[in-house]
Amino acid sequence: MSSIRKVNGKFSGINPAVSCCRLRQVQALLCGSGTAIPDGILCSLGIDSRYNEGCTELAKYLFYGLYEQNQVNLEHGLEEFPEEMLDDVILLIKVDCVHLYCNPLNYSYLLPYVSHWRNLHLYCMTETEYEDEEAAEEFKISSFVAMVQDCYHIGVPYSSQGQIQKFDMFMVEKWPLLQAFALEGIGGGSFFTMKYKLMDMSENLWQVYNRLDPVSLDNLLTEDLVNFEKQWNGFFSGMDLESHLSILELSEAQAGEAFRSYYLHGLISRKITDKSKCQQPYVLFGKHSALEDLENYLFNFPSESHQVRNTGPQGSAARHMILQCVAPKGPLACARTYFFGTTHNPYLGEVYCVTLLVSIHLLHI
């Protein structure tokens, strides 16, 4: 998380319109009234939230590129920055304003993202003041108390899309930031969950994250689509190596191995255990590609018995196959139908007559 991309001393890819649009998308979740709508969404990074992944995911969305892990781009220089300094951020997003606590070290990195946000309330010490660690901690706690003083319901991005957890407000209460809230004198003087009602905003935020904007579209085209295309190229390269005889022995499990591995490894890396049937990779041959077969198909239990040689009419060789590749991250999916060689002999007589009539008609004109 500590790698920051810069080009000639300037940040790369920061678009004020996108930054403002993403903030408004989050603020739109706070419109309306009722107990289901919180007064604000709290996002605390690093040790203050026990490295909560839901908060990190929200920070990655709002400060795109700044909190990405393992960024490797030869066109961009990588500047090492202490992780605990970069993570020293508290956000409270309300429907008409934003409260942001940061330190004088990460302020300059956050500024390009937040400088165009409307009604921004900034809590930041000077570099000289920040040198006193005890004073800095007291300032952070008092800033947090000031942020939430007008709230009653507070939403938190408890889970990330890659690690879904059951919401537990008592686990949130254990966040060091919320523990410090109970301190007498500088804190609120009581347990945070006794004074404020917490609610999970994770699923609402996931819908926001999945919407396309210029930044996510660029990532989709330059990263996800490139990897997605490699899977198709690999599939066709493997098929080209098969001879006429060996391809007859090819099973659905063998043909779809590349697509399954790509999809499954992506799920594992994102810690997703829900393998929904609505979007899954498959390769099906001949008569085994009916709608009923698709509805009953499970990608992690592919068929070894259905081969090209036995899935055609009356047990003959299959004449076609249907296949789908699905990206484990993002909306990319592509399904195609391919035929094994020539499947019919077209009658060219009618085509010739039609062409002749058209030609005669054109001559008369």
Q: 3-state SS of the chain?
A: CCEEEEECCEECCCCHHHHHHHHHHHHHHHCCCCCCCCCEEEEECHHHHCCCHHHHHHHHHHCCCCCCCCCCCCCCEEEECCHHHHCCCEEEECCCCEEEECCCCCHHHHHHHHCCCCCEEEECCCHHHHCCHHHHHHHHHHHHHHHHCCCCEEEECCCECCECCCCCHHHHHCCHHHHHHCCCCCCCCCCHHHHCEEEECHHHHHHHHCCCCHHHHHHHHHHHHHHHHHHHHHHHHHHHHCCHHHHHCCEHHHHCHHHHHHHHHHHHHCCCCCCCCCCCCEEEEHHHHCHHHHHCCCCCCCCCCCEHHHCCHHHCCCCEEEEEEECCCCCCEEEEEEECCCCCCCCHHHHHHHHHHHHHHHHHC
Q: What is the pLDDT of residue 270?
A: 59
Report how far apart, in Å, the C-alpha atoms of 306 and of each of 257, 262, 277 are: 14, 22, 20
Per-residue pLDDT of the chain (365 residues; tens, 9 = 90+): 333 344 334 445 688 899 999 999 999 999 977 778 999 999 999 999 999 999 999 999 999 988 875 443 333 334 556 788 899 999 999 999 999 999 999 999 999 999 999 999 999 999 999 999 999 999 999 999 999 999 999 999 999 987 888 999 999 999 999 999 888 777 667 789 889 999 999 999 999 998 988 888 888 898 889 999 999 999 988 888 777 778 889 999 999 898 998 988 877 655 555 555 557 899 999 999 988 888 888 877 888 899 999 998 888 999 999 999 999 877 889 999 998 876 556 555 554 433 333 333 333 33
Torsion of CA 173, 174, 175, 177, to 10 degrees: 70
Give the C-alpha separation, 228 to 221, whole Å.
Answer: 10
* Phi/psi of residue 269, nearest 5 degrees: -65, -30
Looking up tokens 């066709």, which residue turns up? 236
| Bridge partners for 324 per DSSP | 282, 335
Q: What is the pLDDT of residue 10?
A: 40
Where are the domains positioned within the chain?
A: 3-209, 214-339
Architecture in CATH of 3-209: 3-Layer(aba) Sandwich (3.40)
Q: What is the pLDDT of residue 349?
A: 55
Report how far apart, in Å, the C-alpha atoms of 173 and of each of 56, 178, 193, 199, 304 are: 18, 6, 7, 12, 51
